[in-house]
Amino acid sequence: MKEQIKFYGGEEIPLELHKVRIVQKLHLVPIERRLSALYEGGFNTFQLGTRDVFLDMLTDSGTNAMSDQQLASMMQADDAYSGSQSFTRLHTAVEEVLGKKYFLPVHQGRAAEHIISKTFIKKGDVIPMNYHFTTALAHIAECGGTIAELLHDDALQIKSDNPFKGNIDIDKLVACIEKNGKEKIPFIRMEASTNLIGGQPFSIANLMDVRRVADKYGIMLVLDASLIGENAYLIKQREKEWQENTMSDILKMMTNLTDLVYFSARKLSSSRGGGICTNRKELYGKMEALVPLFEGFLTYGGMSVREIEAMAVGLYETLDETIISQSPEFIKYFVNQLDALGIPVVTPAGVLGCHIDAKQFCAHIPQPEYPAGALAAAFFLISGVRGMERGTISSVRDEEGKEILADVELLRLAIPRRVFTLSQIRYVIDRLQWLYDNREMIGGLKFTYEPPVLRFFMGKLAPVSDWPEKMMAKFRRDFGSSL
């Protein structure tokens, strides 16, 4: 294990092991402006402009801080439609870090999901997985497939000490294959650091078990590696057998156990872009032609060469425990502080962000009035901090148009890598504490415009009453300020 830095006074605070060399000024606009911004954006935090946002905790996607090495690499980018040296460097990085020989570049993670789904899924197929991600589900559905989510029963419990909530329940996996027949299952999908249940990892032991089942039935195993670095870091922290291994050993073990690996480089390597890689030439061959059709030529896949250079360096940086640990350690601090204050938060602390349980926080808001969306809007109003709803608004309707209520209603406050300071996290905790004490004032939301696909991105909502105005008045009374 890496040695931990200890404080003489016994405090447990995460210490930044980097210095800030480029800064961006932030604006904390008055609460009156924040309220107007909410109405203009249909109470959907995706629709806010960053001029109105103080701390942007919407996502870590494309918002992780880039390193000096990444920025430097962008200067040597080799512009060429085909055969650029930048791509050669990226290809080498994929081989060295992820251990896969064949690589297809794409413009971002969902483009990989598009190509994989289109190549392998036909109508009526079933994809077993630990849990879905929104864009993965949308692409599977687009190809006529359905999903089977096979987490252990306790994985959706908010407060838990299960270190690997992202594990697949092997009995459920076998039952799913037996029930549907292996001909209907083109692949099993494992998502590293299972995003929608709170950034929760799976263990190597579990991945090995999934591999055994996949081999027994002759089914391909696909890994969504967008958050593989953080999953590997938590394996090192939590899985005894792997504590003495390097990040590289763990990453390689994860990818070696899978046939096909895809990722969003926006998350994985603090850059842009994405990719699909494999050691099986025949799988590569099946997908190859779709890259020039949908993305761009095979040596850029819709990315700029500068992005390609930054991605290559970012991939190597994924092996650096100091870099990868920064966000999970901040999240752990954040989660532990909220937990100590009695604010309902997903435990154990996962990766990507801090996940607050809106079902408990807003227990008075019925699920069809979107408690997580309402909490996200209320929190922006009183803090200027933008989080993301990960609940029923991010879900879909069934074929009859009825809401499929989400398993969990979460407000996600993302902690992109090396972006925020500890005093900013303390501000967020302070405002959450105020909101928790005033939680009865938060009201529900209703759709005023609901797009048919991925409605959470562009949808517009409105409050069911004048609760935002009342909350603003209370905020001004309590703080004696509109900031």
The reply on whether position 110 binds ligand F0G by CB under 6 A is yes
Token pair of 124, please? 């009526």
Distance CA 393, CA 371 (A): 9
Query: Considering beta carbons, is residue 133 or 202 the nearer one to ligand F0G?
Result: 133
Catalytic one of 102, 103, 133, 361 = 133
Stretch of 119-127, 151-159, 264-272, 467-475 lying at the interface with ligand F0G (CB under 6 A): 264-272
Is residue 369 at the binding interface for ligand F0G, with CB under 6 A as the rule? no
Give catalytic status of residue 420 as yes or no.
no
Answer yes or no: 456 catalytic: yes
Smaller CB distance to ligand F0G: residue 156 or 441?
156
CB of 116 to ligand F0G, least distance (A): 11
| Of 149 and 224, CB closest to ligand F0G | 224
How far is residue 103's CA from residue 96's CA, in Å, rounded to a whole number?
12
Per CB under 6 A, contacts with ligand F0G among 123-142 are 133, 135
Taking CB under 6 A as the criterion, the residue among 14, 41, 42, 109 binding ligand F0G is: 109
Would you say 191 or 329 has its CB closer to ligand F0G?
Answer: 191
Q: Minimum CB separation from ligand F0G for residue 229, in Å?
A: 12
SS (H, E, C) the chain: CCCCCCCCCCCCCCCCCCCCCCCCCCCCCCHHHHHHHHHHCCCCHHHCCHHHCCEECCCCCCCCCCCHHHHHHHCCCCCCCCCCHHHHHHHHHHHHHHCCCEEEEECCHHHHHHHHHHHHCCCCCEEEECCCCHHHHHHHHHCCCEEEECECHHHHCCCCCCCCCCCECHHHHHHHHHHHCHHHCCEEEEECCEHHHCCECCCHHHHHHHHHHHHHHCCEEEEECCCHHHHHHHHHHHCHHHCCCCHHHHHHHHHHCCCEEEEEHHHHCCCCCEEEEECCHHHHHHHHCHHHHHCCCCCCCCCCHHHHHHHHHHHHHCCCHHHHHHHHHHHHHHHHHHHHCCCCECCCCCCCEEEEEHHHHCCCCCHHHCHHHHHHHHHHHHHCEECEEECHHHCCECCCCCECCCCCCEEEEECCCCCCCHHHHHHHHHHHHHHHHCHHHCCCEEEEECCCCCHHHHCEEEECCCHHHHHHHHHHHHHCCCC
Report in angstroms how near the CB of residue 403 gets to ligand F0G at its nearest.
Answer: 22
Among 125, 191, 230, 329, binds ligand F0G (CB under 6 A): 191
Q: Which stretch binds ligand F0G (CB under 6 A): 39-47, 213-221, 261-269, 425-433?
A: 261-269
Q: Is 108 in the site for ligand F0G (CB under 6 A)?
A: yes
- Residue from 237, 255, 264, 325 that binds ligand F0G (CB under 6 A)? 264
Region from 77-85, 262-270, 368-376, 451-459 binding ligand F0G, contact rule CB under 6 A: 262-270
Instruction: Please identify, using beta-carbon distances, which residue of 35 and 454 lies nearer to ligand F0G.
Output: 454
| Residue of 89, 91, 189, 266 interacting with ligand F0G (CB under 6 A) | 266
81 is catalytic: yes
* Out of 45, 130, 195, 318, the residue judged to bind ligand F0G by CB under 6 A: 195
327 binds ligand F0G (CB under 6 A): no
Q: For residue 222, list its beta bridge partners.
A: 189, 260
State which residue, 58 or 381, has the beta carbon closest to ligand F0G: 58
Q: Which of 64, 206, 226, 258 binds ligand F0G (CB under 6 A)?
A: 226
Q: How far apart are CA 252 and CA 305, in angstroms?
A: 26
Q: Clarify whether 320 is annotated catalytic.
A: no
User: 81, 123, 153, 161: which one is catalytic?
Assistant: 81
- Which residue's C-beta sits nearest to ligand F0G? 109
231 counts as binding ligand F0G under rule CB under 6 A: no
Q: Which of 165, 189, 267, 439 is catalytic?
A: 267
The size of the interface with ligand F0G (CB under 6 A), counted in residues, is: 16
Considering 390, 417, 418, 455, which one is annotated as catalytic? 390
Neighbouring C-beta atoms of residue 469, cutoff 10 Å: 12
Neighbouring C-beta atoms of residue 244, cutoff 10 Å? 9
Which 27-66 residues touch ligand F0G, going by CB under 6 A?
Answer: 59, 61
* Catalytic-residue membership of 224: yes
> Looking at beta carbons only, is 143 or 365 nearer to ligand F0G?
143
Q: Specify which residues 270 forms β-bridges with.
A: none
Residue 295's nearest CA partner among 134, 453, 424, 109 is 109
Q: Which residue number, 191 or 239, has a Cβ lying nearer to ligand F0G?
A: 191
The footprint of ligand F0G (CB under 6 A) covers 59, 61, 108-110, 133, 135, 191, 195, 224, 226-227, 264, 266-267, 274
Catalytic machinery residues: 81, 133-134, 224, 267, 390, 456
